[in-house]
């Protein structure tokens, strides 16, 4: 598959991605656990069908020590016993925050309360920001049909 648009060859896209990357750095440096951050990126990317982001974030998570078992079960997190209650709350919020159009009220009060029980305000801010950010990246890559499979760990710094 060929990309429809070379996001890194246009004058505008690298400027945009630079700002998105800066936002990502703020989130990465937050108190939200790194493993949770990768799980969130993977789950949103699965829902959005973003192969490029799945390639990147599964490789980055594995490199950081995430187990193949947990990576393979992200899509089935409700049935899997390998995730903590906090991770489950983050994955639930990720799903609802990614599928906003599928629910009349967006994120449910129950999903929010579940996440708020497990994360402090700074972590919640990071979690909500991360869900929004990975959805933006997914949309850029899906619309442009960015191909997957060639990502190298650390490729973007």
Torsion of CA 19, 24, 29, 30, to 10 degrees: 110
Of 52-56, 104-108, 145-149, minimum mean pLDDT range? 104-108
Residue 29 sits in a domain whose CATH number is 1.20.1290.10
User: Is residue 16 a part of any domain in this protein?
Assistant: yes
User: Is residue 125 a part of any domain in this protein?
Assistant: yes
Question: Minimal CA–CA distance to 146: which of 156, 154, 138?
Answer: 138
pLDDT tier for residue 59 given thresholds of 50, 70 and 90: very high
- Phi, psi angles (nearest 5°) of residue 20: -60, -40
**Residue range(s) defining the domain that contains residue 88:** 12-144
User: Is residue 157 a part of any domain in this protein?
Assistant: no
* Count of the separate structural domains present in the chain: 1
Q: DSSP letters along 103-134, please? A: STTSS-HHHHHHHHHHS-HHHHHHHHHHHHHH
Q: Does pLDDT of 18 surpass 80?
A: yes
> The pTM is what?
0.94
User: Is residue 151 a part of any domain in this protein?
Assistant: no
DSSP assignment, residue 32? S
Query: Considering the chain, what is the average pLDDT of its residues?
Result: 94
Instruction: Specify the pLDDT at position 72.
Output: 97
85: left (phi over 0), alpha (psi -120 to 50) or beta: alpha
Instruction: Specify the pLDDT at position 136.
Output: 97
Q: Does pLDDT of 140 surpass 90?
A: yes
More confident call, 43 vs 15: 43
CA angle 34, 135, 3 (to 5 degrees): 110
Instruction: Specify the pLDDT at position 11.
Output: 86
pLDDT digits (tens, 9 = 90+) for 87-133: 999 999 999 999 998 877 789 999 999 999 999 999 999 999 999 99
User: Is residue 7 a part of any domain in this protein?
Assistant: no
Give percent above pLDDT 90 in the chain. Answer: 82
Instruction: Specify the pLDDT at position 123.
Output: 98
Spell out the residues 6+ positions from residue 134 whose beta carbon is closer than 8 angstroms to its own: 40, 41, 44, 45, 53
User: Is residue 153 a part of any domain in this protein?
Assistant: no
User: Is residue 2 a part of any domain in this protein?
Assistant: no
Instruction: Specify the pLDDT at position 105.
Output: 78
User: Is residue 154 a part of any domain in this protein?
Assistant: no
């Amino acid at each position: 598959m060929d990309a429809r648009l070379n996001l890194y060859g246009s004058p505008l896209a690298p400027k945009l991605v630079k700002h998105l990357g800066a936002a990502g750095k703020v989130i990465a440096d937050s108190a939200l656990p790194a493993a949770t951050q990768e799980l969130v990126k993977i789950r949103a990317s699965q829902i959005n069908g973003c192969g490029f982001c799945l390639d990147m974030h599964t490789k980055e998570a594995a490199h950081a020590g995430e187990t193949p078992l947990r990576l393979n079960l992200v899509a089935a997190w409700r049935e899997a016993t390998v995730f903590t209650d906090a991770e489950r709350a983050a994955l639930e919020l990720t799903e609802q925050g990614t599928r906003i159009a599928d629910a009349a009220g967006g994120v449910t009060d129950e999903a929010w309360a579940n996440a708020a029980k497990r994360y402090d305000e700074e972590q919640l801010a990071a979690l909500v920001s991360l869900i929004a950010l990975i959805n933006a990246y997914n949309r850029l890559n899906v619309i442009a049909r960015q191909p997957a499979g060639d990502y190298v760990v650390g490729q973007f710094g």
